[in-house]
Amino acid sequence: MPISGYIIEKYNQMTNAYTCNRLVEEAANLGIDLKIVGIHDTIISENGLINNGTKLEKREFVINRYKWGKVKDEINSIAIKSYNPLDAYNIYINKYEQVKKLCSDEFLVPKYLLGTALLKYEDIVQILGTPFVAKGLESSMGEQISLIEKPEDLQNLSRTYGMEKEWLFEEFITNSFGRDMRFYSIRGEVVACMQRKSQGDFRANVALGASVEPFEITPQIRQIAKDIYNQTGLDFLGIDLLFGKDKPYFCEINVMPGIEGIETATGVNVAKKIIETIYKDFI
């Protein structure tokens, strides 16, 4: 019988979603029936999981590419394996859990604190210095990432996102302004690495227009990937580091990383390596 799986995304039709479509393409090359299942096209009822009027049947695996809610968890429950494993996925979506739990002798962790934007600006500066960075705990693609340079910037966070929202506040690593490195790890092995550079923004996200170029995979980078895999058990990861003076600084891990930038920068067929890894689990 052919191997079958679901990719969990926003919608069934992800026409312009590079990563989803590349994975479906590479799955087809190996005879895997991989279907995109949209959270916004799925309901849970007494009859089970219904996607656009059709009941979702059990499949061998799911690939998690959506962060929020219980529907994704229920879709995971009808699969034999999840990539990434759901328990770890739900933990490491959160940026605070990342800085709290992850460590390596090969990187430094920026000074940080967790709180709302109603904290006193002066109290944060006393710990982190100025400017400092505010990160939404489950944001991606550079969204909800702000450089806080004055009290008004902090106040704007509350006005924009609400007083209740918690933020990860971190020291600003000036040496890495507008640039970082992203490498793709498959079960602790680095398969591709790139440097991202912005055009004037302190953030270096490809989604915000940053340019990409290949970056050397060093023994240090390989060790970081191994360390993080051993601590998380996450199969497929984008790992972001900031450039420090002596050692890199941990930025974040992405549990649902896009692959367009890194495939473009390096020429490595990351999608094929992902699908081959899954395929080998079932043969």
Q: What are the structural domain ranges in the chain? A: 4-83, 93-103+175-281, 112-172
Q: Quick check: 59 and 4 in contact, CB under 8 A? A: yes
Cα–Cα–Cα angle for 219, 86, 3, rounded to 5 degrees: 90
For domain 93-103+175-281, say whether CATH 3.30.470.20 is its number: yes
Report how far residue 233's alpha carbon sits from residue 125's, in angstroms, rounded to the nearest whole number: 35
Question: Which one is predicted more confidently, 199 or 274?
Answer: 274
Q: Is the pLDDT of residue 279 over 80?
A: yes
| pLDDT attached to residue 209 | 67
Q: What is the pTM of this model?
A: 0.93
Q: Where are the alpha helices (DSSP H) in 169-242?
A: 219-232
Report how far residue 93's alpha carbon sits from residue 8's, in angstroms, rounded to the nearest whole number: 15
Q: Quick check: 212 and 261 in contact, CB under 8 A? A: yes
Percent of the chain whose pLDDT exceeds 90: 89
CATH pick for 4-83 out of 3.90.79.10, 3.10.580.10, 3.40.50.20, 3.40.50.10470:
3.40.50.20
Q: Is the pLDDT of residue 205 over 80?
A: no
Tokens of 226: 């191994």
Report how far residue 55's alpha carbon sits from residue 42's, in angstroms, rounded to the nearest whole number: 9
Helix, strand, or coil (residue 54): strand
**142: closest CA among 208, 213, 68, 241?**
208
Q: Is the pLDDT of residue 141 over 90?
A: no
Other CB atoms within 10 A of residue 19 CB: 21
Task: Give the model confidence (pLDDT) of 248-272 as tens digits.
Answer: 999 999 999 999 999 999 999 999 9
Report how far residue 125's alpha carbon sits from residue 148's, in angstroms, rounded to the nearest whole number: 10
For domain 112-172, say whether CATH 3.30.1490.20 is its number: yes
- Stretch 121-145: mean pLDDT, rounded? 92
- Stretch 83-98: mean pLDDT, rounded? 97
Q: Quick check: 187 and 230 in contact, CB under 8 A? A: no
| pLDDT attached to residue 143 | 85
